[in-house]
Structure 1
């Protein structure tokens, strides 16, 4: 039974694929009162009835400021899963913050990241970038210091155009790493935002330089090592980048080096991303970006027709324990429900904001996710999801530090 005095969270687009998962997780995990909103009253009430007595439904149109104000009334936090934030250029965020509620947007609205009042705003900057910022924080828990991070992301699944917008905006903010130059090294000074004002440089390659083929796609044979999971027997693009979210963690964890690669099975999705990679950084206006996002959405559906969806993230972190032992930690996260993973991230972020654990101002989701808590929520709420971690002392053997998933959740 949800307590009558529990905080109220409003979810715009609450009956969609991401919003629906977030609603169920917030109900099961935290016992919040929920207001499920969207343009369809029937769909909103259909989900609200399954969530229990503490949930209600409301019709809301994100385009209508008066409708937004009415929906926000009484909410501690509004979770925006509608996908319209970028089209409206931050209008939903401004309206929610003006009403005194916290705002969590599951689409990067592309607006300025300047504070607006005392409340908190958190923006989702794409699944790959969010995981790139969260994973080193998970691996660094309890370490006295850390030096080098090496990470991978691979995913396949249909995405909506508005979800694709966040990923595309994140890629525009990322730094491309030339073939053969695998490491982004933090050489001193700098800021958690942007490319450290020139202090972030590409390290010298460990082997002979490898020419990048046209379009930016790198043959697997040209890599130093394969990804830590088998790639499908189809064309795949391997992109070496340093996401904004990882650069921020380089600064905050005082990392000396960081590597990040993204593997995209194709052929349709890599082809779209490769064409985008050939454009100048400032060449995409809002209309063009939406057009590319629709194209990427169609490509993702084509690629996912014959292969089950999945998202996999793997990373290693070298560091020092409080008792002076040098170790290498690794973590592998795998799930088969990509929208569900985004829903869990949405729920965890909304929970942090509602509990007033975040400072006022604008944040990105990768900086706000509780490292251990998010891993636990992923395993508990996504069937067949796994988060496995190991720790290997230098020169020693590894030991598993996470509970086997089979012991936590069947199926």
Structure 2
């Protein structure tokens, strides 16, 4: 009988790591080694003390693992150090973030990056909508979130602003066209009743999808619900700072925007293309959940399971390209019952989605 793969989870007690571990346990077929800075008991799991900032400690933790899932935060302060230590220990590596370093790993080793909500689930939207269609294809997508940020999430957000993962106000028209768009102060996104501020931001993730599919045009908006996070983001962009004061300011801003309101995370995408017979086709998808960390945990677990079941070959990959979209959509709704997934336009993978009651939206 084949031995079950050993999966190490760094940041196992965090909001993302806790959900990812639960998904992996429920899926079965793997053993889990939980890495904590101050661990407590974890039924059915190996538990280890590990400081992700110490490469030697990470190597000891990763020794014997088939794959290590990195859910540490703030990830941008560690960058590729965790990944290098994991690979040196002989394990494969999955990260919720994109560490910005995509060098080819040692022979036979696999790296999967951006296994979260954005980047991650967001990068799957154009693929979901484009299935079976032909060009020219035009895609518009958006991400909107409302809810208090943790300190780690706030630090990662601030550090990502100047990390080169996107271009503000740019659009894709066969190539990146800078400063082609304007901020939309009356931006609308399905399932959100009020107008948002839509900030055009051509992500590196969408650029990759535009080249692969290919897309004739691609637009992405980061949509802000309330003035405080947007104001803090605008003030901090270009400073390259995520010190304690900056993190505390963004955490406060997120709580002010969310005060008295129900938290949500919404991804939305629309695509115009043609069927093989030349008929024009318009498709859309909206994915809404209440907890961004929980959504990321499910995506991360699915990326790990894709790797441990042999569905990801050696090399560097992005979760949006290797995670099975049908399986992921079903897993999101099973693990997070308040998650809504709604398609229009006869999308092939929509049969994986449980019908939702419209009033719930």
Q: 1:204 to 1:304 in 2, by over 3 A?
A: closer
SS in 2 for 1:58: strand
Within the alignment, does 1:127 sit opposite 2:117 as a pair? Answer: yes
1:201 aligns with 2:177: yes
Which structure would you say has the larger Rg? 1
Aligned residue runs from structure 1 range 30-109, under 5 A: 30-42=28-40, 45=41, 48-49=42-43, 53=44, 55-109=45-99
Tell me the CA shift for residue 126 of structure 1.
6.5
- Alignment partner of 1:219 out of 175, 185, 188: 185
Distance 1:76 1:326 in 2: 46
1:184 counterpart (155, 169, 172): 172
Contact 2:134–2:275, Cα closer than 8 Å, also in 1: yes
The alignment of Structure 1 onto Structure 2 pairs a total of residues equal to 352
C-alpha RMSD of the superposition: 2.9
Match for 2:141 among 136, 148, 151?
151
Q: Deviations over 1:1-37 (max 9, x none)?
A: xx88211101112122110100111121243111112
- Within 2, Cα distance between the matches of 1:402 and 1:107? 26
2 CA distance for matches of 1:353 and 1:9?
11
- 2:231 aligns with 271
**Deviation at 1:343?**
0.7
Give SS of 1:219's match: strand
Correspondence 1:117 to 2:77: no
SS of aligned partner of 1:302? helix
SS in 2 for 1:41: coil
- Whether the 8 Å CA contact 2:329–2:353 is kept in 1: the answer is no
For each residue in 1:98-118, what CA deviation from the matched residue of structure 2 results, as whole angstroms up to 9, or x when unmatched?
Answer: 1111111224445x3212313
2:11 is aligned to 13
Cα distance, 1:165–1:146 mapped onto 2, change above 3 Å? farther
Tell whether the 8 Å contact from 2:115 to 2:303 is kept in structure 1 after alignment. no
2:214 alignment partner in structure 1: 254
The answer (yes or no) to whether the contact 1:124–1:130 under 8 Å persists in 2 is yes
Give me the whole-angstrom Cα distance separating, in 2, the residues matched to 1:22 and 1:387. Answer: 20
Aligned to 2:294: 340
Is the aligned partner of 1:320 residue 2:270? no
